[in-house]
Structure 1
Amino acid sequence: MGLRFTVLASGSTGNATIVQSDSATVLVDVGLSAKKMEELMRERGVAGHHLDAILVTHEHSDHIKGLGAFARKFNLPIYANQATWEALERHVGQIAAEKRVVIETGESVTFGSMKTTSYAISHDAAEPVGYTFDYEGEKLGLATDLGYVSDKVRLVLEDSDVLVLESNHDVNMLRMGRYPWNIKRRILSDIGHLSNEAAGEALCQLLTDRTKRVYLAHLSLDHNLMDLAKLTVNNILESNGFFFRQDEYPLRETYHNKPTPWDEVKRR
């Protein structure tokens, strides 16, 4: 087995992803209750005691809802930068000092032979990050909760074999939606979330011959539809000269209430 992953859940109702090599298994975010996390993990044949660590992207509740309870139940170390630790402390309850691990933004940590690197993103949190995973020449990039894709983020992600990229909302659906204007303005801002259009434009700069698949993630239940997201992103890609045969079509779905199938990063 090489590098593989499953997105357990993705969206405003909760986010969690498992990344695994033949020597380590880590969980990125615990945005659902501990009970729900265990249910989703069972669907993919993973139990809490299989995990080596939890990585946290930022302190918003849809990323840390079950963090404290889950980590305590399975005695797991939690990795986050210092600013995120300070922001999430009051939300996760008592965490033993030896289980509180600081990994500052831009630093790498190795689990078995799998290297994990955090990188800075733009979002309205204390010090939000994304993560990349490298294992024997394979690379997975996780990039959600982005207000925009900066040049630095592009440099981090552009050589990924597989990307999990935010495609949060359709701009027109959001503008016409029920949210108060101050929330809409936040979502649309540079510290909010990527729209379908922004995701498509980013992919025009991120896709290379190395890219095998892209998972569209963190879709809004109120202001997006997966079919619409895929259509919008694909239209932008085609208008910029990217055309794919059906058997190599790179866009994949994530779900708010069920895990994606295990995906081996090296598989074309």
Structure 2
Amino acid sequence: MKFCSLYSGSSGNCQFIKTDSTKILVDAGLSGKKIQQALTNIGEEASDIQGIFITHEHIDHIQGAGILSRRFNIPVFANEETWNAMKPSVGQIKPENIRVIDDSVEIGDLFVQAFDISHDAAKPVGYKIFNDNKKICLLTDTGCVTPSIKQNVMGSDLILIETNHDEDMVLIGSYPWPLKRRVLGEFGHMSNDLAGNLLCEILKKGTEIVLLAHLSKENNFPELAFKTVENILGENGISTNEGITINMTYRDKSTKVYDL
């Protein structure tokens, strides 16, 4: 199983997963043109995508979903509440490409399972994706970590985890107070510290690759996110020299392609 974060940040999100026979996207939060170009840049074609899985209806996760579905006849998967919330934004999609999923679905040789997260959307989810005893987990857009979330992300071989903001930067920044309260609240976004503390628990279960994701343009920067997480791990006796890889994702370019 291979993974590439095509884009990740408050301005747009799109993740690519493939096996020898199956290729999917999780979210399509940029223009169809940008997503097509990102795929081309890693040697892939949008016409080969077999499904787009949506985490929630916010525009930075769905902007290109309808365009890509219409252009390449791609099924779009989301739960019923998310479909109802995003239909006005994605435009007309063929009925056969509207795929409503409650919990899990098999697509090719991938098994994709959703789990509930905490965000100000209709029914936001993270995804666990399985193939050949390997597990990828995508966890962004959650303001808190519940016991259920923690259980779902444990045992991942690769985890894409949100490090949206630095709490102090939010508090002293220019956002109006209601927006600050939203970002910092339980239905907002994960901070660098919250992600670091979660990783302290789940990395002990054997996670190999950690990708820090969905950074705010205004309230974070890559060096700060990385250093905060690295320091929290170090304080808890977890070394990145012990088979754990921690890397960044990017809002304006793709990561390398990770081969699990």
Structure 2 contact 67–90 (Cα < 8 Å) conserved: yes
Flag structure 2 segments of 5+ consecutive residues without an equivalent.
none
1:138, 1:161 within 8 Å by CA — same for their partners in 2? yes
Kept in 1, the 8 Å contact 2:51–2:75? The answer is: yes
1:184 alignment partner in structure 2: 180
Structure 1 residue aligned with 2:257, among 250, 259, 262?
262
Q: Which residue, out of 191, 198, 207, partners 2:194?
A: 198
Q: What is the aligned partner in structure 1 of residue 148 from structure 2?
A: 152
Q: 1:23 touches 1:111 (CA, 8 Å); kept in 2? A: no
Compute the displacement of 1:210 (Å). Answer: 2.1
Please give the TM-score of this superposition, normalised by the length of structure 1.
0.95
Partner of 1:210: 206
The residue number in structure 1 matching 2:32 is 34
Query: Shift of residue 249 of structure 1?
Result: 4.7
Deviations 1:225-249, CA, capped at 9 Å, x for gaps: 111111111111111121232x845
Return the offset for 1:29: 0.7
Whether the aligned pair in 2 keeps the contact of 1:12 and 1:220 (CA below 8 Å) is yes
> Alpha-carbon deviations, 1:198-241, whole Å to 9, x = none?
00111111112521110000001111111111111111111112
The one-letter code matched in structure 2 to 1:193 is H
* SS at 2:159 equivalent: strand
Task: Answer yes or no: is the 8 Å Cα contact 1:23–1:114 preserved in 2.
Answer: no
Runs ≥4 residues deviating over 4 A: none
Task: List per-residue Cα deviations over 1:137-175 (Å, max 9, x = no partner).
Answer: 010000000111111011111110111000000111111
1:131 shift after superposition:
0.5
SS of equivalent to 2:38: helix
Distance of 2:48 and 2:197 partners within structure 1: 38
Provide the secondary structure at the position in 1 that maps to 2:122: coil
Where 1:208 maps in the other structure, the secondary structure is: helix
Give the residue type in structure 2 aligned to 1:261: K
TM score, norm. by length of structure 2: 0.98
Q: Identify the residue that residue 66 of structure 2 maps to in structure 1.
A: 68
Identity of aligned residues (%): 42
How many Å separate the matches in 1 of 2:6 and 2:201?
27
RMSD: 1.1
> What are the superposed Cα offsets for residues 82-104 of structure 1, whole Å, 9 maximum, x if unpaired?
00000001011111111100011
| 1:110 CA displacement | 1.1
SS in 2 for 1:207: helix
Q: Residue type of the partner of 2:229?
A: V
3-state DSSP class of the match of 2:204? coil
Between the two proteins, the alignment pairs up a number of residues equal to 260
Q: Which amino acid aligns with 1:99?
A: N
Q: Where does residue 50 of structure 2 map in the other structure?
A: 52
**Structure 2 letter corresponding to 1:65:** Q
Which residue does the alignment assign to 2:98? 100
The answer as to 2:233 corresponding to 1:237 is yes
Q: Offset at 1:250?
A: 2.0
Distance, in Å, in 2 between the alignment partners of 1:243 and 1:34 is: 39
Partner Cα distance (1:12, 1:189) in 2: 17
Contact 2:28/2:64 (8 A) holds in 1 = yes
CA distance in 2, matches of 1:239, 1:190: 25
